[in-house]
Structure 1
Amino acid sequence: MSAAAKKRAYKPAKAPACPVPSCKGGLEHARTHWRCDRCGQNVIRPQGGPQEAASASSADIVIYGGAAGGGKSWALVFEAARYIRTPAYSAIIFRRTTKQVTGGGSMWEEASSLYPTMGGVGREHRLDWRFRTDDERRPSVIEFGHIEHQKNKLDYQGKEFAFIGFDELTHFTETQFWYLQTRARSTTGVRPRVWGTCNPDSESWVRKLIDWWIGDDGFPIAKRSGNVRWFARMPDDSLLWGDSKKIVLEQGVK
């Protein structure tokens, strides 16, 4: 698991280079993508800084924190689409309530500005986006869902997703998170991942989950941001942590 947090004042040193081999232009950031200032090539990629760091993480569980307006929702929508060219790939992004899934400023609206550029076809009545793959019978699908009531977590019993995202993780209960984390499974060859975005909330159960990455002042510890740690969840729901899988296993965890 790793925690990536927004720094107070990040400014990229220079614009990213255009990926077109014959072009020496630089990329300018638009709302949903980058555009080369020379050849006009559109490139979909995270912004440098916290977005890029979170996207590059190798952790199975990534918590991306920061104040409102830091690009967390865009990063979540982008990450869910990382493997859309894989046949039968499935992902789901959760908000806590039904009303938060669609409407102005919602995750569905964020996806609607990004996924069409990736060839996605949205079905709002089904709350999903479908993408063509090399196997036309097995498209990839990104769903959007809610867990408004505690019992709603059982709606996903038996389902499998290669990517599970929680927008505003602090709005969910701890039991909802851990139950749905068990749905992170895949038979497509894609390693399952779980992402959560959140705003600072010292009273939330999430604070306990990311405690090692947060200082006494409530701000992320810069040198720890992005560091991957291992944990085992014990029968009493406590977490046993270590800097490597070996260390956790040596503590008697099987």
Structure 2
Amino acid sequence: MQQSRQNWRAWSAADKLALLQTLKARNRLTWKPLPGPQTQAYECRADVILYGGAAGGGKTDLALGKALTHHQRALILRREYPQLSGIIDRANDLYGEYGVFNSGKGVWRCEFGGKRRIIEFGSVQHETDKLKYQGRPHDLKVFDEAANFLESQVEFIAGWNRSEDPSQRCQVLLCSNPPTDATGDWLIDWFAAWLDPQHPNPAAPGELRWYAAVEGRQIECPDCSEFVIVDGERVYDFDRSTFDAVEIIKPQTRTFIPARVTDNPFYMESGYIAKLQALPEPLRSKMLLGDFAAGREDDAYQIIPSEWIRAAQERWKTRRQPVIPMTALGVDVARGGQDNTIHSPRYGNWFAEQICYPGADTPDGHVVAAQVFNLRDASTVVNLDVVGVGASPYDLIHAAIGNKIWGVSGAAGTDELDITGIFGFANLRALLWWRMREALDPVNGYDLALPPDRELFADLCAPRYKRTPRGIQVETKDEIKKRIGRSPDKGDSAVYALAEHRSTLAFGSI
């Protein structure tokens, strides 16, 4: 039993059994982390920790243990409140000696180590539920099964990860298995150095890296040096007196500590591993091995299969931009808030990298029109979302280029049919998204090449459809935004870039 706690997986079966018997004999109310990954995560000093990956690694116990022994005020969240029942039951076992539970408020009030501890349980089922936690500080924010949360919910609630006690370490703990749908793909962006096999500088488990949020995007930083953004670039050598404190960006540390069921002697003794081994693929690889790269299952009514999009992004990596004028420019104009104005240039069947402008940088039609004029070639067709704020730039651009611009109104009717000539469409939005599906379908041979952008991938995976008496109907942008927590601006812009204002597919220009 003298072997290193960090070398837990190398322990003999006899030593693991002896430890299990010791833990069972110990008073259950005195919580201690298991040797190996759970101890590593318990002692980790990173600002943001992703722990788990595989099922059975002791994620719930880690969250409850840290909340009681390391923190003064903690918030433990699940996406839906009924999912908290098992966590609350386990908290009753661990916390009973130290305090009382207010079941009506979902709050444990404990005394541990000479300090008062408050552990709150809650949920954020809907996007707007995050507002319940606005301005409420906790020095530990736990998102249990983090892949089920929207990125916007985690970012918003984590903004109040703070304490009035200068000696108290503040942390965000993300306990999760790999995502099974696009909702949790943000985890792979946040922890790309550990989870993305194509990352240029991969990180080791438990290694600390520095990250910062800049204009709504998570960026990796070389170290902890503070910086400011000037003309879209990071500037590290700056005069602090010329910048407001809120403009100075300080990176935070982040890490991923993987754990498996083999790290948990309780589950190993129970035979839980056999149940994980019996799962169908790719769920088996996700839950048993914690494989974030394993294929995920698409929703039955997802318009474009993930594999078709992934194949188009792989083609992009092996092709160069065609030496031809820009064929079309798709423009999705920001509607305020956190939306972006996105320009998608297309050259035949090759889509260039999208150009993104925060909504604050496109305050009126004149700015959007100027962006379009700077990007397009003389022969380029512009397809612009004309609904709402898009009307102003449309008028300005139309005055200059005439019928080279098409004002796309998704709610407009259409009598076009799908490529088989069988199905109709409830409106123009459904038609244009279905045209993207048909162009990406490998059977049709159009071989689109899309830039390998994770957000574009998630946006194209997001919309779902249904069949109605009026024809195929696609979710509205607002419906998608409620479900995934953000507007699918990049996906819409790419769809507009493919479209043509005539009664055939846009494939004539591909």
TM-score under structure 1 normalisation? 0.75
Change (3 A) 1:29 1:70: same
Displacement of 1:181 after TM fit? 0.6
Change (3 A) 1:240 1:149: same
Change (3 A) 1:199 1:133: closer
1:5 is matched with which residue?
A: none
Are 1:213 and 1:225, in contact at CA under 8 Å, matched by a contact in 2?
yes
1:226 is matched with which residue?
A: 206
* Post-superposition CA distance 1:107-147 (Å, at most 9, x none): 11121121124x13222222111113698xx8421000000
Are 2:79 and 2:123, in contact at CA under 8 Å, matched by a contact in 1?
yes
Q: 1:29 aligns with which of 20, 26, 40?
A: 20
Corresponding position: 1:192 with 2:177: no
1:127 is matched with which residue?
A: 106
CA distance in 2, matches of 1:151, 1:213: 31
Change (3 A) 1:133 1:72: closer
2:120 is matched with which residue?
A: 143
Runs of 5+ unmatched residues, structure 2: 1-7, 229-233, 237-247, 249-510
Are 1:12 and 1:49, in contact at CA under 8 Å, matched by a contact in 2?
no
Are 1:12 and 1:48, in contact at CA under 8 Å, matched by a contact in 2?
no
CA distance in 1, matches of 2:76, 2:84: 9
Structure with the larger helix share: 2
Displacement of 1:154 after TM fit? 0.6
1:98 is matched with which residue?
A: 81
Displacement of 1:49 after TM fit? 1.3
Are 1:55 and 1:79, in contact at CA under 8 Å, matched by a contact in 2?
yes
Name the SS for the 2:96 alignment partner. helix
- Percent sequence identity is 26
Displacement of 1:66 after TM fit? 2.1
Change (3 A) 1:207 1:170: same
Output the aligned Cα RMSD.
3.3
CA distance in 2, matches of 1:169, 1:147: 12
Larger relative contact order, structure 1 or 2 (CA cutoff 8 Å, min sep 6): 1
Displacement of 1:27 after TM fit? 7.5
1:12 is matched with which residue?
A: 11
Letter in 1 for 2:206: G
Work out the number of aligned pairs and report it.
219
Displacement of 1:171 after TM fit? 0.6
1:66 is matched with which residue?
A: 53
Letter in 2 for 1:156: Y
Runs of 4 or more above 6 Å deviation:
none
Change (3 A) 1:91 1:42: closer
CA distance in 1, matches of 2:59, 2:174: 9
Q: 2:195 aligns with which of 207, 214, 236?
A: 214
Displacement of 1:42 after TM fit? 7.8
Are 2:9 and 2:36, in contact at CA under 8 Å, matched by a contact in 1?
yes
Letter in 1 for 2:209: R
CA distance in 1, matches of 2:9, 2:73: 33
Change (3 A) 1:15 1:141: farther
Letter in 1 for 2:192: D
Are 1:34 and 1:44, in contact at CA under 8 Å, matched by a contact in 2?
no
Q: 1:83 aligns with which of 46, 70, 75?
A: 70
Name the SS for the 1:48 alignment partner. coil
* Post-superposition CA distance 1:70-107 (Å, at most 9, x none): 111111111111236xxxx31110000121122xxx21
CA distance in 2, matches of 1:197, 1:41: 22
CA distance in 1, matches of 2:73, 2:28: 29
* Post-superposition CA distance 1:204-233 (Å, at most 9, x none): 21111111012539xxx7x61001111111
1:114 is matched with which residue?
A: 94
Letter in 2 for 1:66: G
Name the SS for the 2:9 alignment partner. coil
Corresponding position: 1:45 with 2:32: yes
CA distance in 1, matches of 2:197, 2:112: 48
1:19 is matched with which residue?
A: none
Change (3 A) 1:15 1:41: farther
Change (3 A) 1:169 1:124: same
TM-score under structure 2 normalisation? 0.39
Name the SS for the 1:29 alignment partner. helix
Whose radius of gyration is greater, 1 or 2? Answer: 2
Name the SS for the 2:178 alignment partner. coil
